[in-house]
Structure 1
Amino acid sequence: MTQEIEIEYKNLLTKDEYERLLYNLSFPEHSQAQTNYYFETTDFALKNSGCALRIREKNDEYRLTLKEPHKDGLLETHDSLTEKEARDWMQGNIIAKTNTTTQLKKMGVSPESLDYYGSLTTQRHELEDKEIIIVLDYSTFNGRADYELEVEAITQEIGIQAFESLLKEHHIQKRDTPNKIERFFQTV
């Protein structure tokens, strides 16, 4: 099964903080676009279980990802989709995929009960530095926009140390930061 543990630390940024980090760190000049398409049941069964389901379109590839709570971060389960399958999902023609369907059924959620709620588009800058990846995101969704710093790491210890160091070094206030799908659903 295609699964991985995601360990990341996030902080919402002001536009000025975002631009300062973009200028002061060695990010590539150009960002990479990606769009997340979000799915949920009408009774929010995924959210109520601390889970999220999305299709990510990036570089003309489509990947279905179910995120579930895990003691070390988030357990991500993936399936590849064709463009047609992704479009079918968004039109309500859900095609069950092996890995994510297995996990959904463990939660008592059938793929047929899922509805498409909308999308969030991100311009992403990524910088790999030893055991971490530093990410700057500018996201737009439902008439809103926000800026975010993410630090992805191979361990919690490395991640939190790098994250807190970045905030301190660049004089950025630590903020409670819901993940993108939570911020998206706050606007639906």
Structure 2
Amino acid sequence: MAQEIEIEYKNMLTKDEFDRLLYHLPFPEYSQTQTNYYFETTDFALKKNGCALRIREKNGVYQLTLKEPHKDGLLETHDSLTKEEVRNWMQGNIIAKTHTTKQLKNKSISTQNLHYYGRLTTKRHELKNANIVIVLDYSTFNGKEDYELEVEATSQEIGIQAFESLLKEHDIQQRDTPNKIERFFQTI
């Protein structure tokens, strides 16, 4: 699928809160590692449009994703990339891809104006239920580290209910939580 709506609720965690959730919920024993490579224009045109662009590497598979605001969450547009294409992107030789380029053009952003800014690596624990996915992320970037809870859901109603219940049940304070790309760019 080239596009999907992402409905998720996020909360920054302390290491203690992260460890408590990891211990008290039936997460798989091992985490998966993924790396996000972030792109932006020099004048931050993506940010000005409320968008973010990344390449995610997970298990040797590379996916380019443009995230845009949507009334129900975020509209994600995807294209697959080869390892060689990723190398080219990171070196400034941007190869236009069908779906993401179309969405960027709709916002008057040229792929030729994109620049690679850096990466963020995450060790992710996922617990899937019928209508939600509970995610615990430990991320490192630019000499920083953080811990985050995400609840991904099939609807806003299901998501907010599961998210608030999880926080309350585990006595975790709700915190303003910028997304990963925002946290990454705050360290540049």
Q: Do the two structures share a fold, i.e. TM-score over 0.5?
A: yes
Q: What runs of 5+ residues in structure 2 fail to find an aligned partner?
A: none
Q: Following TM superposition, by how much is the alpha carbon of 1:130 offset from its aligned partner in structure 2, in angstroms?
A: 1.5
C-alpha distance in 2 between matches for 1:138 and 1:2: 27
Aligned to 1:44: 44
Alpha-carbon separation, structure 2, partners of 1:11 and 1:129: 19
Q: SS state of the match for residue 101, structure 2?
A: helix
What amino acid is the match of 1:92? Answer: G
Output the TM-score relative to the length of structure 1.
0.99
Pairing of 1:52-63 with structure 2 (within 5 A): 52-63=52-63
* 1:1-188 aligned within 5 A: 2-188=2-188
Q: For 1:64 and 1:130, how far apart are their aligned partners in 2?
A: 27
1:129 CA drift (Å): 1.3
- Please list every run of 5 or more consecutive structure 1 residues that lacks an aligned counterpart in the other structure: none
Measured against aligned partners, the alpha-carbon deviations of 1:99-132 in whole angstroms (never above 9, x if no partner) come to: 0000000000000000000000000000001200
How far residue 133 of structure 1 moved from its aligned partner, in angstroms, is 0.1
Aligned residues: 188
Give, in whole Å, the separation in 2 of the partners of 1:75 and 1:88: 26
1:33 positional shift: 0.2
Give me the CA root mean square deviation: 0.6
Q: How much identity, in percent, do the aligned residues show?
A: 78
Alpha-carbon separation, structure 2, partners of 1:112 and 1:15: 40
SS in structure 2 opposite 1:33? strand
